Structure 1
Amino acid sequence: MQSAQKMSLPMLTAMVVGSMVGAGIFNLPSRFGAATGPFGALIAWGIAGTGMYMLARVFQALAEKKPDIDSGVFAYAKAGFGDYPGFLSAFGYWLGSCLGNVFYWVLIGSTLGRFFPDLFGDGSTIVAIIVSLVGIWAFHFMILRGVEQAAFVNLVVTIAKIVPLVVALIAMVVVFNWDQFSTNFFGAADMPEKSLLQQVRDTMLITVFVFLGIEGASVYSRYATKRSDVGRATILGFVGVTGLMVAITLLPYAALPQSTIAGLTQPSLASVLEEIVGHWGAVFISIGVLVSVLGAYLAWSLICAEVLFAAAKSQDMPRIFAAENGRKVPANALWLTNVVVSLFIISTYWSADAFNFMLDMTSVTALLPYLLVAGYGVLIARRGEGYETTPKERLRDQIFAWIAVLYTLFMFAAAGIKYVVLLAVLLAPGTILYVWARREQKARLFNPRELVIFAVTIVAALVGVYGLLSGRITP
């Protein structure tokens, strides 16, 4: 690969920030407001921040101790647990990223619907779908012109979209009302009564969603100018974005009653600023939403294609997806990604609540890859692989990895059985691609352990399908 195609530390950090600061951060006020007060929010961010920080440290450790493994999200799962778990991680991560991209376009439509309700509505009208399809394919052909051009655009967009967030923070600090914050602190009296545990649990999936992208630098490890920049970019992006998200969540409680925050329309940060400074605030934040979401969509389109490409290069996906065009862009992987995203976009026309369903499913699909990455971190620390020159780091890294494992398991429990079986419904058909790839290699399909995993996946998928058909599970 030519040196001109390498990514510096600022570009890798921008990939992390650009991936994380997307749609979710603009939706935090009302999602948290409907679930809990500042006290519960602080606990939720404490759990989520600790768990995701540990996961970030696992990514950092793996980048340092396993520098030969590129596109780490699924490659680590394969290295630690075998071919089929590695495939499920790659396919699940890719599919979840596709769902996330669908969510971005639905949010764009709903944001435009604030100003053109008859045309865009909640983001799933015919006009919104047509605009989304045009946008998807415009980005598609831009990315085909070269990854580095797209990465530079992402760097510029990342800087541009921070400005509205900073303005919103300044406005909320200026009007900070301690009495209002104190009234909301343990949950306002006019909100439904529920336990603190339930309050925290109700915020968990949104915290996963807003942290998605923490692995952005790891996915692009093969482009890094210096391998050590991958870990640094992950930590830098995580720390900066976490502080931003906590502030965006807590400051509205000092400006508005919790019940008002809970009832705000999405993107709720625009509604918060509208309540504080007037209509121009909603317009300003809505522009920020559009810029932010388009930037995040660009980053995730790159990640989607890169995951499919890397999986095909390592023979975990059919080799057709390993093809690159003359500008070193994984073209076939990009085509499949955007065809799938387009089909999901079209399906939103018949969805009752595409907005929240896509958000929650995107969060859940990320948990399996994260769990396997954390598990691999435990394995290499226990074995001492890569720690020959730094043996004192083994215990520390093993503790970090175990905490990350427990966190992801807790998140699965918080999501509930509904989303677990729906995840299986999405993963099971993907096994067709695994069979295709194994036949290309004339390799054994499953070993005994993988056969058990496949059987469990199929059974869970059948439970999910039955639940959908019987009406016991509703999207």
Structure 2
Amino acid sequence: MDEKQGIGRLGLTALIVSSCIGTGIFGITSDVAAASAPGPALLAWGFVSFGILMLVLALNNLSNKRPDLEAGIFSYAGAGFGPLGEFISGWSYWLSAWLGNIAFATMLMSALGTFFPLFKGGQNLPSILVAIIFCWILTLLVNRGVESASFINTIGTAFKLLPLLLFIIVIMIFFKAQMFTADFWGQVVNNTTRGTTTGSIWDQMKGSLMTLIWVFIGVEGASVMAHRAKSRKESEQAAIIGFVLLVIVYVMISILPYGVLTRTQLANAGQPAIGNALELVVGHWGGVAINLGLIISTVIAWLSWTMLPAETTMLVAKDRVMPKLWGKVNDKNAPTASLMITGVLQTIFLFSLLFTQQAYKFAYSLCAAAILFSYLLVGLYQMKYSAEHKEWGQFLIGVLAAGFQLACMFLAGWQEVLLVSISFIPGFIIYYQGCRENDHRISGVEKLVMTLVTLLAVVAIVLVVNGTIAIG
């Protein structure tokens, strides 16, 4: 690709940071405090950061060793486990992006409700209609050219980090070490612990895992967009730089407030949590500043996640795993058909916000669960490729990356994982259509896998009907 037309290291780093820093960081203070005291929270951050780092290192290794696989995270699954593996990875990633966008819409309209009472709560009809308008503005912007949208994203990232830096500075000024260490391990149970988890350190860690994974979604963005980068090396560098920046910001935002407000105050602050926390510390202006930052943050992150899901289906279709329509691009090299299909479906699903009480939490939990499938397949292919080439250090990275995803699936998000499996019922219909168009005969192994996943989906439906799994 022409160096002048590709996305550079700065643009890719901004894409990763912007994709991750969306609505999640503005609610993380409350969500983490409800689940964990500062000690278990730091251990949870260490566990999740290590797991995500293994994923980033695996992606960088595969990007370097297999530059021929331009679809990145999805084509790795294809190279390791065939067309169905690539489809499962791409479909899961696409679904995750969908649910993330619905979460963005809910939080955005709720933040606008602070300034315009018409949108208060973020889930009424006016909120839905404005969210749909946002959805289509961003869709049409990306349709004019992915690289130009990335340029806007780079500028917006700088602006949306300012309220977060303000929060960190204020919290550091008011930080009290004695308050921070008062109940460091969360094992003191009394009337001041309302709304929080106390007791076992492991239970506290486990309770925060899906929240921490949610805020890291997007760290693989450089891999998804690697074929549009100026060079593979810049894509790899952007992944590491973005990861380090995210860990620093996330830990400071979620951990420092324990030294300023009580854990109960943090857990019951409401959303956006850091806005309400800052308002308790410095007054109303703090909440206003954070809400303005939240609005900017959500719009820019939504832009990134308009780019990434469309890019996903386009790349998977180009690998002849989905129907050809999803792979067509316009004269700006943007996947118009994929963008429009996703935009229409997002519009339909945005109306679901009218019928659920906890749309944001439910959406981000499913979003985190869905992405685990894609991440797991990266780790497994890293293991397979490294074993074939006797690269045992890289093989260990693959084991750790895959093991982390499996641990999160079974320990923290098993209900959400079951719900995600339901989406594969219509997904396999699309896969079948793609196989017919591309003259791919579905193998016996593929039929077995689809049957097992479908049976898992049926189990999930039964558990939903009998109330074992509660929906939103």
TM-score, structure 2 normalization: 0.96
Aligned to 1:452: 448
Letter in 1 for 2:437: E
The answer to whether the 8 Å contact 2:26/2:275 transfers is: yes
Aligned to 1:388: none
Are residue 267 (structure 1) and residue 259 (structure 2) matched?
no
The answer to whether the 8 Å contact 2:139/2:343 transfers is: yes
Are residue 467 (structure 1) and residue 466 (structure 2) matched?
no
Letter in 2 for 1:411: C
Are residue 181 (structure 1) and residue 186 (structure 2) matched?
no
Q: How far is 1:311 from its partner?
A: 0.8
CA distance in 2, matches of 1:452, 1:121: 48
Aligned to 1:387: none
Are residue 295 (structure 1) and residue 294 (structure 2) matched?
no
CA distance in 2, matches of 1:212, 1:115: 29
Q: How far is 1:2 from its partner?
A: 4.9
Aligned to 1:75: 75
Aligned to 1:95: 95
Q: How far is 1:3 from its partner?
A: 4.4
CA distance in 2, matches of 1:420, 1:322: 28
Q: Name the stretch that deviates more: 32-41 or 183-192.
A: 183-192
Partner of residue 427 from structure 2, selected from 421, 426, 430: 430
- Structure 2 residue runs of 5 or longer lacking an equivalent are none
The answer to whether the 8 Å contact 2:128/2:350 transfers is: yes
Letter in 2 for 1:467: L
CA distance in 2, matches of 1:193, 1:173: 26
Are residue 359 (structure 1) and residue 364 (structure 2) matched?
yes
Aligned to 1:165: 164
User: Superposed, which structure 2 residues align to 1:24-35 within 5 Å?
Assistant: 24-35=24-35
Aligned to 1:380: 385
CA distance in 1, matches of 2:274, 2:29: 6
Paired residues in the alignment total 465
The answer to whether the 8 Å contact 1:58/1:400 transfers is: yes
Q: How far is 1:244 from its partner?
A: 0.5
The answer to whether the 8 Å contact 2:35/2:205 transfers is: yes
Q: How far is 1:428 from its partner?
A: 2.0
Letter in 2 for 1:126: L
TM-score, structure 1 normalization: 0.95
C-alpha root-mean-square deviation of aligned residues, in Å? 1.3
User: Superposed, which structure 2 residues align to 1:52-71 within 5 Å?
Assistant: 52-71=52-71
CA distance in 2, matches of 1:232, 1:3: 16
Aligned to 1:239: 244
Partner of residue 348 from structure 1, selected from 331, 345, 353: 353
The answer to whether the 8 Å contact 1:69/1:76 transfers is: yes
Q: Name the stretch that deviates more: 354-363 or 421-430.
A: 421-430
Aligned to 1:105: 105
TM-superposition CA deviations, 1:333-379 (whole Å, max 9, x none): 00111112111111111012101000100000000000000111111
Aligned to 2:136: 137
CA distance in 2, matches of 1:48, 1:260: 25
The answer to whether the 8 Å contact 2:369/2:413 transfers is: no
The answer to whether the 8 Å contact 1:23/1:292 transfers is: yes
Alpha carbons of structure 1 residues 32 and 314: separation in structure 2 relative to 1, 3 Å: same
Q: How far is 1:423 from its partner?
A: 1.0
CA distance in 2, matches of 1:186, 1:111: 33
CA distance in 2, matches of 1:461, 1:411: 19
Identity %: 32
CA distance in 1, matches of 2:95, 2:351: 16
TM-superposition CA deviations, 1:317-339 (whole Å, max 9, x none): 10011111111110000011111
Letter in 2 for 1:101: N
Letter in 1 for 2:433: W
User: Superposed, which structure 2 residues align to 1:198-277 within 5 Å?
Assistant: 198-277=203-282
Are residue 439 (structure 1) and residue 444 (structure 2) matched?
no
Aligned to 2:333: 328
Partner of residue 398 from structure 2, selected from 393, 398, 401: 401
